[in-house]
């Protein structure tokens, strides 16, 4: 969605379709929010802005109603509630006012183009729809001033670039703004440039008179100085400079920060070296910095060292680049004596100049020696060098030229095009293919291209050149073969810059043998490596070159200096292009399988060491350690599968699965587990298979939402556990878990819990806690004593606290909170949920946070704390968006719908419930969630008076609940069936169903708003005595009888 206010208000959907916003107040509300996109605008400010000095009596309610109208009018749910007010959840890039301000004040090197783009956004008077509103006066004035400044900047840029004749435009502007001295000065300069000095002096006279008459002021010193220069006949052109810099043939994109910082550094240091990998844009940045410094130095000379093969020839290369005879440099006609370096030092000793020494890496020692001598003997000299490694001399200041910033995966539209790497690709792509579309599929492919190429400018330019003959989509799918694909650079470029392979070849040839060994072996890592990992995986005394582990650090440091390895915090990583090249070299050396085995072995040891700590107080440290190597863990496991090493893969899976569970990688982990568990494994020890199959079954259930796969894996886990040694705690848990695996299989049935009960006395506190939680939930599902279940939960919580295991604590706290809420102890339950949220937040378990936050938000609303509830709900939305699970997104939408219905806003409730109904159809959503959403739709339809629609939704809800075999969910959906019966005049049947709901859950749920409401209505219809009688009948009925009464065939 895009919002335009530089002219009459205009709103367009993402597809460009106009969106009609009718009504002055509605348009005013949107403008107030759009002036602060992404930020909360307080309720008071909105009321003041919309109604001014005459707000309605119920201003807050009136504002809520107006916000609801705006939400309906907009094409997407962009208006978010906040305890302090409301927020328009759009990017500043989607609001023309914000876009204009950003472009107009940008320091980008393409200043003129940006200004022209900024000014094109204006379609008329700023904030025209609210021109008379008090709140609009300040932003309108600011925007007008900013527009005038942008106009002046753009015209000045045109003057400096000798682009067109701005006289006519400036004459119009000066007539319209006779007191605007900058316009007057620009017009004077433009007139003088075309030989109309007399007219220029007349402009000054008119401006001087206008200032005196209207303001009683004199012209500014700048304007007076320009006037004096014209009187003297002085030309305004800048003095000529001595330089061999060539004019740029392409725009300079994405390096504003580098340009500004390096230019500043050149004023602080006499030697600045730009370092970075080949193709990162060091040469272009150096030339642009030098061009910017032409204002400050009389001479700027670029010296290209790439063609120089012998370091001894560097002084002569500098002399040649200066382009003058030595006697002219020396200012004498005498004989030339001494070595080239001596003659050069003598020639530069009294001059003020900047030398740009490009591509020093292959002669770095000689370059360092030359620069050190020249700086010592030539006080007016400054040097800007480019090299893939530092010169390493005293006084050197380094500036790493990193790849261009990348858009996040999945970025779209203007957000994606705002990233420098995308801007470069788009700019060069338009040169190669002017008709290139910028639709969403094209932008998605361009994002993929930039990310695959690490944001490296040369690689991006080579890719853009390919767009002459293929689409972005075709190019994106072929980048796995980047070295064959990315050829055909500019014929005027150095040979090593004409293909991607040549760029990397150049760097490879500069390495010694040990550096080559280490670089190619580092390519097996995914996402980087710690020093320890690099030493153990890459060190090898048996190799002919001999790279001992204790030498790895020194060699690694050399590769960092040579810009082939990137150091980020404590991790060493390769750019994707370097990695692809190094993998080829690894295969050529015959070391690929050996290095991959070493990689898998190292990370196998890591997850084995981590696994027991994952369920203890130190779990956060170990989760962070494994998260840092998440990509390596997956790569190592896949390598074991590819190698057919079943035992290694199964051991690895058993150790890493707990991390997947705790860190929220259940879906990804379940998919990987499927690859491992499909391997032949008859010769793998039973305990290894038991743990791998057993814990993977839980992940399949909760991550993949695949009941049949989970059942099959669990059965295999149990089969192996029964034959295995019981020393591993997970083997004991798997055997106990089979007692409650069908925990939700037969509501009301009392399971045999002998093996579960054995766990509650285990010496391991985590095992004890897990056993008690399992026993408590089994009791609840069987409709047994809540008191006993609560006692188990509390002792489980104590055991988890003893172990320090946060997920167990959070899960148990959530279960205790459920019991408290059912009893009506809402405040105490809310406290439990808050502590649970803090614990899972430490684990960054977003899916669990959504569940707890939604429950807390509902309780806070019932406790009459709507602002707190709204804030918690917004946090839940943020977590749901981040985790992306359909049931989380549906849960938030349903909560919004229910909360709106409870406060009587049926229109908002319908919109949100429809959203939940769409999301919940995703095939991975478990039947429990479908049941809850269908029940919500039934309650919503009933509130709207659509009785038959409500009945259909409630019937579907109960059907899904029965499929889930989840007793509390069945109890929940029976309330909806009861409401259907009540609405049909069958109050006795409704009371019996309510009694059955209580029996299945074990206690009434006093936190279930609709349950309390339906119960009250049924009691009122029957009277207290008859209501109690029929509830009692329902509580004594079997589950099978109840379901038959509800019209559902019980699950077998």
Sequence-ordered list of residues with C-beta below 8 angstroms from that of 1018, at least 6 positions apart, any chain: 978, 982, 987, 990, 991, 994, 1027
For residue 545, the model assigns a pLDDT of: 63
Of 313-327, 621-635, 945-959, least confident by mean pLDDT is 313-327
Residue 732 lies in a domain: no
Domain boundary among 117, 137, 157: 137
**Residue 543: its pLDDT value, please?**
63
Is the same domain home to 254 and 325? yes
Q: Give the separation between CA 999 and CA 748, rounded to whole angstroms.
A: 9
- Residue 666 belongs to a domain: yes
Q: In what order do the strands lie in the sheet with 396-400?
A: 242-243, 299-304, 353-358, 381-387, 271-275, 396-400
The 10s digit of each residue's pLDDT in 831-862 is 999 999 999 999 887 778 899 999 999 999 99
Q: How many CB atoms lie within 10 A of CB 321?
A: 18
Residue corresponding to tokens 């790849």? 403
Q: How many helices (H) and strands (E) does the chain have?
A: 51, 14
Using CA atoms, how far apart are residues 637 and 641, in angstroms rounded to an integer?
6
pLDDT at 947 over 90: yes
Tokens 């200043």 map to which residue? Answer: 111
**Confidence (pLDDT) at 582:** 92
Share of the chain above pLDDT 70, in %: 93
Instruction: Return all residues near 135 (Cβ < 8 A) that are at least 6 apart.
Output: 32, 45, 48, 49
User: Do residue 51 and residue 93 come from a single domain?
Assistant: yes
Range of the domain at 357: 247-400
pLDDT band (50, 70, 90) for residue 945: very high
Nearest-10 crossing angle of helices 646-663, 666-677: 170
Mark whether 391 and 440 lie in a shared domain: no
pLDDT at res. 1022? 95
The CA angle 455-456-458, to the nearest 5 degrees, is 135
Of residues 493 and 157, the one with the higher pLDDT is 157
Residues 397, 394: Cα–Cα separation, whole Å? 9
Q: What average pLDDT score do residues 403-429 get?
A: 88
User: What's the CA gap between 1052 and 1038, in Å, rounded?
Assistant: 14
- Coil, strand, or helix at residue 391? coil
Residues 461 and 324 in one domain: no
Between 631-640, 854-863, 874-883, the lowest mean confidence (pLDDT) is in: 874-883
Domain match, 544 and 682 both:
no
Question: Domain end: 370, 400, 430, which one?
Answer: 400
Q: How far apart are CA 549 and CA 890, in angstroms?
A: 52
Are the beta carbons of 686 and 651 closer than 8 angstroms?
no
Q: Which residues in 756-780 are b (16+ Cβ under 10 Å) and which e?
A: beebbebebbbbbbbbbbbbbbbbb
DSSP string, 550-615: GGHHHHHHHHHHTTSSEEETTEEE--HHHHHHHHHHHHHTT-HHHHHHHHHHHHHHHHHHHGGGGG
- Asked if residue 971 lies in contact with residue 1005, where contact means CB atoms within 8 angstroms, the answer is yes
Residue 1022, φ and ψ in degrees, nearest 5: -100, -25
Tokens encoding 279: 């193709």
Residue 195 falls inside a structural domain = no
The mean per-residue pLDDT over the stretch 63-81 comes to: 87
Residue where the block lists tokens 């079954």:
697
My answer on whether 467 and 424 are in the same domain is yes
Instruction: Give dist(CA 437, CA 430) in Å, integer.
Output: 9
| List of residues 6+ apart from 902 with CB closer than 8 A | 861, 1009
In a domain, 316, yes or no: yes
Q: What pLDDT is stored for residue 749 in this prediction?
A: 55
pLDDT at 488 over 60: no
pLDDT tens figures, 635-689: 999 999 999 999 999 999 999 999 998 888 888 898 999 999 999 999 999 999 9
Q: Which residues is 567 bridged to in the sheet?
A: 572
Most confident of 207-211, 699-703, 790-794: 790-794
DSSP 788-810: HHHHHHHHHHHHHHHHT-HHHHH
Answer yes or no: is 755 within a domain: no
Report in angstroms the alpha-carbon separations of 303 from 99, 146, 277: 40, 42, 20
Phi then psi dihedrals of residue 573, to 5 deg? -140, 160
Output the pLDDT for position 704: 59
The pLDDT value given to residue 9: 93
Cα–Cα distances (Å) from 692 to 645, 713, 714, 716, in that order, read 14, 9, 10, 10
Is 0.75 topped by the overall pTM? Answer: no
Alpha carbons within 13 A on the beta-carbon side of 976: 32
pLDDT at 240 over 60: no
- The answer to whether residues 339 and 370 touch, using CB atoms and an 8 Å cutoff, is no
Three-state DSSP class for 733? helix
pLDDT score of 750: 58
Rounded CA separation 424/436 (Å): 14
Q: What is the pLDDT of residue 492?
A: 40
With a cut of 70, say whether residue 771 has pLDDT above it. yes
Whether 474 and 525 share a structural domain: no
Res 838: pLDDT = 94
Quick one: tokens of 718?
Answer: 């149990």
Residue whose pair of structure tokens reads 């005027």 in the numeric block = 492
We report the CATH number of the domain holding residue 371 as: 3.40.50.300
Domain boundary, last residue among 548, 566, 588: 588
* 1027, pLDDT greater than 90: yes
Q: Which range is least confidently modeled, 3-7, 154-158, 780-784, 1032-1036?
A: 780-784
- Give the full edge-to-edge strand order of the sheet including 85-88: 40-42, 85-88, 79-82
User: What integer pLDDT is reported at residue 544 of this predicted model?
Assistant: 61
Contacts with 490 (C-beta within 8 Å, 6 or more apart), sequence order: 497, 498
For residue 325, pLDDT beyond 50: no
Q: Are residues 447 and 528 in the same domain?
A: no
Residue partners of 248: CB distance under 8 A and separation at least 6: 287, 288, 291
For residue 334, what is the DSSP state? S
How many CA atoms lie within 13 Å of 376's alpha carbon, on the beta-carbon side? 10
Q: Give the tokens for residue 216.
A: 């009683």
Query: Can you tell me the distance from the alpha carbon of 48 to that of 814, in angstroms, rounded to the nearest whole number?
Result: 43
Separation between Cα atoms, residue 698 and residue 676, nearest integer Å = 15
pLDDT above 60: residue 296: yes
- Enter the DSSP assignment of 44: H
Strand pairing class (396-400; 353-358): unpaired
Domain assignment present for 564? yes
Mean pLDDT of 177-185: 90
d(CA 371, CA 239): 29
- Is the domain of 383 the same as that of 522? no
- Classify residue 858: in a domain, yes or no: no
Note the Cα 846 to chain centre separation in Å.
Answer: 15
- 10 Å CB burial of residue 162 (0-12, 13-18, 19+) is exposed
Instruction: Provide mean pLDDT across the span 878-883.
Output: 86
Q: Indicate the DSSP class of residue 94.
A: G
Do 420 and 412 touch, CB atoms closer than 8 A?
no
* Position with higher pLDDT, 942 vs 218: 942
CA distance 594 to 606: 19
User: Please, is 214 exposed, middle or buried when counting C-beta atoms within 10 Å of its C-beta (0-12, 13-18, 19+)?
Assistant: exposed
Is residue 235 over pLDDT 50?
no
CA angle, corner 1014, sides to 1010 and 1016, nearest 5? 115
Say whether pLDDT at 796 is over 60.
yes
Q: Is 41 helix (H, G, I), strand (E, B) or coil?
A: strand
Check whether residue 584 and residue 604 sit in a common domain: no
pLDDT score recorded for residue 1048: 59
Task: Name the domain count of the chain.
Answer: 6
pLDDT over 70 (residue 744)? no
CA dist list (Å): 1029 to 147, 834, 881, 983: 78, 39, 47, 20
Mean pLDDT across the chain: 87
Stronger pLDDT, 577 or 808, i.e. the higher one: 808
Same domain, 941 and 1051: yes
CA 643 – CA 636 distance, rounded (Å): 11
CA 547 to chain centre: 39
Residues 1037, 938 share a domain? yes
Sign of the Cα pseudo-torsion (263, 266, 268, 269, in order): positive
Q: Exposed, middle or buried: residue 338 (CB in 10 Å: 0-12, 13-18, 19+)? A: exposed
């Amino acid at each position: 969605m895009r919002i335009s206010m530089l002219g009459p208000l205009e709103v367009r959907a993402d597809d460009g379709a106009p969106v009609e916003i009718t009504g002055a107040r509605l348009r005013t509300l949107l403008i107030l929010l759009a002036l602060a996109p992404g930020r909360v605008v307080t309720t008071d400010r909105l009321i003041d802005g919309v109604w001014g000095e005459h707000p309605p009596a119920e201003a807050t309610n009136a504002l809520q109603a107006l916000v609801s109208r705006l939400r309906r009018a907009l094409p997407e749910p962009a208006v978010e509630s906040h305890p302090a007010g409301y927020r328009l959840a759009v990017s500043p890039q989607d609001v023309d006012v914000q876009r204009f301000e950003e472009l107009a004040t940008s320091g980008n090197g393409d200043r003129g183009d940006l200004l022209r783009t900024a000014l094109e956004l204006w379609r008329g008077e700023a904030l025209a729809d609210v021109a008379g509103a008090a709140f609009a006066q300040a932003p309108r004035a600011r925007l007008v001033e900013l527009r005038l400044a942008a106009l002046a900047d753009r015209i000045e840029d045109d003057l400096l670039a000798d682009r067109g004749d701005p006289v006519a435009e400036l004459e119009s502007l000066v007539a319209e703004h006779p007191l605007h001295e900058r316009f007057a000065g620009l017009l004077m300069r433009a007139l003088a440039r075309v030989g109309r000095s007399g007219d220029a002096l007349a402009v000054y006279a008119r401006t001087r008179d206008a200032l005196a008459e209207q303001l009683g002021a004199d012209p500014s010193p700048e304007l007076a100085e320009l006037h004096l220069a014209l009187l003297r006949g002085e030309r305004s052109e800048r003095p000529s400079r001595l330089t061999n810099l060539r004019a740029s043939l392409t725009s300079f994109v994405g390096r504003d920060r580098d340009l500004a910082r390096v230019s500043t550094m050149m004023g602080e240091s006499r030697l600045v070296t730009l370092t970075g990998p080949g193709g990162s844009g060091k040469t272009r940045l150096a030339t642009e910095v030098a061009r910017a410094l032409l204002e400050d130095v009389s001479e700027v000379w670029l010296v290209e060292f790439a063609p120089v093969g012998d370091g001894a020839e560097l002084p002569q290369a500098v002399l040649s680049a200066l382009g003058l005879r030595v006697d002219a440099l020396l200012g004498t006609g005498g004989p030339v004596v001494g070595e080239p370096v001596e003659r050069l030092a003598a020639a530069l000793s009294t001059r003020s100049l900047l030398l740009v020494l490009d591509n020093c890496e292959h002669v770095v020692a000689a370059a360092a020696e030359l620069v050190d001598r020249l700086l010592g003997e030539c006080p007016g000299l400054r040097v800007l060098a480019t090299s893939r490694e530092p010169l390493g001399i005293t006084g050197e200041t380094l500036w790493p030229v990193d790849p261009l910033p990348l858009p996040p995966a999945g970025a779209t539209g203007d957000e994606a095009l705002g990233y420098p790497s995308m801007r470069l690709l788009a700019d060069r792509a338009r040169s190669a293919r002017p008709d290139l579309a910028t639709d969403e599929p094209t932008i998605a492919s361009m994002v993929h291209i930039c990310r695959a190429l690490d944001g490296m400018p040369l690689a991006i330019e080579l890719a853009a050149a390919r767009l002459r003959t293929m689409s972005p989509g075709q190019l994106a799918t072929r980048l796995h073969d980047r070295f064959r694909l990315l050829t055909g650079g500019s014929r005027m470029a150095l040979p090593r810059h004409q293909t991607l392979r040549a760029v990397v070849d150049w760097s490879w040839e500069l390495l010694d043998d040990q550096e080559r060994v280490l670089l190619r072996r580092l390519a097996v890592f995914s996402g980087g490596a710690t020093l320890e990992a690099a030493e153990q995986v890459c060190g090898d005394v048996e190799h002919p070159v001999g790279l001992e582990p204790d030498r790895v650090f020194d060699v690694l440091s050399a590769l960092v200096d040579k810009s082939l390895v990137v150091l980020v915090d404590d991790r060493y990583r390769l750019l994707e292009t370097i990695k692809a090249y190094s993998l080829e070299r690894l295969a050529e050396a015959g070391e690929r399988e050996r290095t991959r085995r070493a990689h898998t072995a190292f990370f196998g040891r890591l997850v084995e060491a981590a696994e027991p700590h994952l369920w203890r107080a130190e779990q956060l440290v170990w989760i962070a350690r494994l998260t840092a190597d998440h990509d390596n863990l997956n790569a190592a496991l896949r390598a074991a599968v590819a190698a057919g090493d079943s035992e290694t893969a199964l051991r690895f899976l058993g150790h890493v699965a707990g991390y997947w569970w705790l860190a929220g990688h259940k879906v990804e982990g379940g998919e990987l587990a499927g690859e491992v568990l499909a391997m032949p494994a008859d010769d793998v020890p039973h305990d290894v298979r038991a743990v791998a199959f057993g814990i993977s079954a839980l992940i399949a259930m909760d991550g993949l939402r695949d009941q049949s796969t989970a059942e099959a894996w669990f059965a295999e886990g149990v089969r192996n556990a029964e034959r295995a040694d019981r020393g591993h705690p997970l083997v004991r848990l798997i055997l106990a878990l089979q007692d409650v695996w069908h925990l939700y299989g037969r509501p009301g049935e009392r399971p045999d819990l002998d093996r579960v009960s054995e766990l509650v006395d285990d010496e391991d506190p985590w095992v004890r806690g897990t056993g008690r939680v399992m026993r408590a939930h089994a009791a609840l599902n069987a409709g047994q004593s809540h008191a006993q279940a609560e006692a188990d939960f509390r002792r489980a919580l104590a055991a988890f606290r003893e172990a320090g295991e946060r997920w167990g604590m959070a899960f148990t706290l959530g279960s205790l909170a459920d019991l408290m809420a059912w009893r009506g102890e809402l405040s105490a339950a809310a406290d439990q949920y808050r502590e649970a949220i803090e614990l899972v937040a430490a684990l960054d378990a977003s899916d669990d946070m959504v569940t707890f936050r939604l429950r807390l938000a509902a309780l806070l609303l019932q406790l009459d704390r709507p602002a707190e509830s709204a804030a918690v709900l917004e946090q839940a939305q943020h977590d749901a968006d981040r985790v992306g699970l359909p049931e989380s997104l549906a849960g938030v939408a349903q909560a919004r719908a229910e909360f709106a219905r409870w406060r009587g806003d049926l229109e908002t409730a319908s919109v949100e419930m429809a959203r939940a109904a769409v999301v919940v159809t995703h095939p991975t959503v478990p039947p429990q969630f479908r049941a809850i959403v269908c029940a919500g739709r039934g309650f919503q339809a009933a509130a709207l008076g659509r009785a038959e629609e409500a009945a259909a939704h409630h019937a579907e809800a109960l059907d899904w609940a029965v499929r889930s075999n989840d007793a509390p969910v069945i109890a929940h959906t029976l309330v909806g069936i009861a409401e259907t019966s009540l609405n049909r005049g069958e109050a006795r049947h409704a009371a019996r169903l309510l009694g059955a709901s209580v029996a299945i859950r074990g206690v009434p749920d006093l936190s279930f708003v609709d349950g309390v409401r339906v119960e009250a209505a049924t009691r009122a219809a029957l009277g207290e005595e008859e209501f109690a009688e029929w509830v009692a009948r329902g509580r004594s009925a079997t589950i099978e009888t109840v379901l038959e009464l509800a019209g559902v065939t019980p699950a077998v």
